[in-house]
Structure 1
Amino acid sequence: MSCQPIVFSRRWCLHAAAILAITVASGQPGHAREPQTPAPDPLQAACTTLQATPMLQVSLLFGLNRPDGGHVSRRDWSRFVRDVVTPRFPAGFSVLRMTGRWRDEHSGRIIREPSRIIWVATPLDPDLRLRLEAIRQAYRQRFRQDAVGLVITPGCAAF
């Protein structure tokens, strides 16, 4: 077995150095890597700029037509809000009167009905899911509804 020195060209050395640099920078296993700082949260940055707090914007969507052809009365709605919604969001919420449109799955008809949206700005608390589900379930049971819509969007709030 003979031992001969290996001679590398300058061009080969430059290519090898470039490949090594790319491998290290890409964090391939076995190579040292600089600790990375987490990317800034754009929502947090926007909220900070606006002197607001990150919150969830929750919209609960309630149709007022009943399956038997009747309607949820103003009195029944007021009682529901007082007894079911207010205890779960005592810090406050808004009620918006709307007219909703949706397609009936059985007939294919477009249904137009009076509706209410309860809008809440709230932090993501550990019990938020349970509070929202309790409201939705209570409305479905009390007024024999198939569904109560729920839309949640991240946002900022200041009061």
Structure 2
Amino acid sequence: MRLRLPVLLLSAALLAGCASVPAPAGPAASASLQGDAARPAQAQGWVRSELYFGVGREDGPSERSQTDAIGEERWRAFLDTEVTPRFPDGLTVFDAYGQWLFRGAPEPNRLRTKVLVILHEDTPERRADIEAIRLAWKEATGHQSVLWSRQPVEVSF
């Protein structure tokens, strides 16, 4: 009899360990996507435009006069006057380093770069806004180009 009691208690403990915790009564609440016309919950027909602006003094051989470095104050003024009025809903800027090889040059040119990222609807009006920004930069700085890269994206805000 003495042996049976410990065996029964051990068996009861083992069986109790096999019991599972009851599942929650219902699914956990989750956030829902909300949006408006400028920031839809989900949208199609949008693109990610990246614009590459040289802001440092060019370093490398060139037959044209090299531009001076463009300071942070001048860059911010350009954003305020040329970019933000066209894309007031938002944008992103990254500091980067760039280099390229002019045709026939023996070495690449190198300079500090700002990468401007804008997510926008792929419409003729938005593309015209991007072109206006590129032209304004070239006119303001004397730079020959502003690289524009576009790719389709799915967005959700």
SS at match of 1:127: helix
Instruction: Return the match for 1:112 from 110, 113, 122.
Output: 110
SS at match of 1:146: coil
Q: Per-residue CA shift, 1:43-63, capped at 9, x if unaligned?
A: xxxxxxxx7322101001111
TM-score (norm 2): 0.65
Alpha-carbon RMSD? 1.6
Q: Letter of the 2:102 partner, please give it.
A: D
- Return the alpha-carbon distance in structure 2 between the equivalents of residues 108 and 65 of structure 1: 20
- Return the alpha-carbon distance in structure 2 between the equivalents of residues 121 and 142 of structure 1: 24
Shift of 1:76: 0.8
TM-score (norm 1): 0.64
Q: 1:69 to 1:106 in 2, by over 3 A?
A: farther
Stretches of structure 2 that go unaligned for 5 or more consecutive residues are: 1-40, 58-64
- Return the alpha-carbon distance in structure 2 between the equivalents of residues 108 and 97 of structure 1: 26
Stretches of structure 1 that go unaligned for 5 or more consecutive residues are: 1-50
Match of 2:56 in 1: 65
Shift of 1:64: 1.3
Q: Does 1:127 align with 2:125?
A: yes
- Return the alpha-carbon distance in structure 2 between the equivalents of residues 142 and 104 of structure 1: 21
Q: Letter of the 2:122 partner, please give it.
A: L
Shift of 1:106: 4.4
Q: 1:138 to 1:98 in 2, by over 3 A?
A: same
- Return the alpha-carbon distance in structure 2 between the equivalents of residues 144 and 76 of structure 1: 14
Percent identity (aligned): 25
Match of 2:31 in 1: none
- Return the alpha-carbon distance in structure 2 between the equivalents of residues 79 and 111 of structure 1: 26
